[in-house]
Amino acid sequence: MEARLLSAILGVAMVQVQTAVQDLDLQKITGFWQEVGVASNQNLALKTPKKLEALFLTWSGDQLTVRAAYSSSGSCDMENIVGSGTDVSGKFVFPGNREIHIIDTDYKHYAILQLSLRWQGKDFHVLKYYTRSLEDEGGPGFWRFRELTTDTGLYLVARHGRCAKLLKELLGSWYVLAVASGEKGFAEEKATKNIEGVVVTLTPENNLKVQSSRHRLEMCDLSVMELVRQNSGWVFENPSLGVLEYRVLGSNFRDYAIVFTQLELEDEAFSTVELYSRAESASQAGLSLFTKWSRGLGFLSQQQARLQTDPTCARKAFQVSCF
């Protein structure tokens, strides 16, 4: 078990790099990062069936939560680990004698991390290169990565994986800031609706688990549903719960996503378009894309609403989530 854990997290071992980013801005480093490159002078576990594809970092108090997406035998696995900050800027310690040290980053495009693990009385280190974009493999950050590892000699560039794509698009905690809905009575009730919360995770069976806190009849209703992936694309469903289709229409993969849901509840069939946001306030780009999709799908102005700014109900979903 320990050997597999070492393989999955480190992949390779290398000499330690004596440099680090100064005065790291912890809020700017949070979010999605795809693994693109690995540098090593010793191959330990390149043939491991469990490949790390991406990380999603969140910071709260003095704790850094790392959500890691792995591909394993054709399926996607997730691991959550929580670490604490140290006196060294950008360095975090985790259970199991593990450390993450952020060596260099520009926050918007790339990050270079040193991952360390003490195993069987020995210290192992690996340097990894991450990008925000699934398409940005050869940007200026990669040349910085090569500069730090000139004498190492081994560079591995990760393929675009579906697990990284799923983690970047949808997983995690979201505020629902705007809704377009064809549900009966929505136009009359929309003025009373506040910001809602959604937490999206993967189950061990690789289904989507959607936990939400939403306003229903002036109450905050907590619910959990599990959705199964359809045969084509990243489209999910659970007809037994009335969910015929659940998909991401568009996203900048960091701040917002536009989610479409087709429902059939109590003999009423309707669809919704929702603006998911990582923050409590909506970005102009997110609002513009929400309006574009809502109008394009035929929703009238009275069927669209920006929700009131009280986040109390939304946070209930986050509080009970163990993601």
Contacts of 301 (CB under 8 A, 6+ apart): none
Torsion 281-284-286-291 (CA) sign: positive
Q: How many CB atoms lie within 10 A of CB 191?
A: 9
Q: What is the pLDDT of residue 16?
A: 47
Helix (H, G, I), strand (E, B) or coil at 168: helix
Q: What is the pLDDT of residue 152?
A: 63
Q: What is the pLDDT of residue 3?
A: 41
Q: Where are the alpha helices (DSSP H) in 21-133?
A: 26-29
Helix (H, G, I), strand (E, B) or coil at 193: coil
Torsion 276-278-280-283 (CA) sign: negative
Q: How far is CA 94 from CA 83, 97, 98, 177, in A?
A: 4, 6, 5, 34
**Total residue count of the chain as it appears in this document:** 323
In this structure, are residues 244 and 232 in contact, taking their beta carbons and an 8 Å threshold? no
Compute the distance between CA of residue 157 and CA of residue 19 in angstroms, rounded to an integer: 23
In this structure, are residues 132 and 109 in contact, taking their beta carbons and an 8 Å threshold? yes
Residue 60, Cβ density class (10 Å: 0-12 exposed, 13-18 middle, ≥19 buried): exposed
Helix (H, G, I), strand (E, B) or coil at 259: strand
Q: What token pair was written down for 198?
A: 């959604």
Q: How many CB atoms lie within 10 A of CB 130?
A: 23
Q: What is the pLDDT of residue 288?
A: 94
Residue pLDDT tens, the chain, 323 long: 444 444 444 444 344 444 556 688 888 888 888 888 887 655 554 445 677 888 888 887 788 888 887 776 666 666 778 899 898 888 999 988 889 999 999 998 899 998 887 777 777 778 889 988 766 556 778 888 888 877 665 555 555 566 777 666 678 889 999 999 999 989 988 888 899 999 988 776 768 889 999 877 677 889 999 998 776 556 889 999 999 999 888 887 678 999 999 999 888 999 999 999 999 999 999 999 999 999 999 999 999 999 988 888 888 888 765 44
Contacts of 226 (CB under 8 A, 6+ apart): 203, 207, 208, 209, 210, 238
Residue 191 has, within 13 A of its CA and on its CB side, a CA count of: 2
Compute the distance between CA of residue 88 and CA of residue 183 in angstroms, rounded to an integer: 53
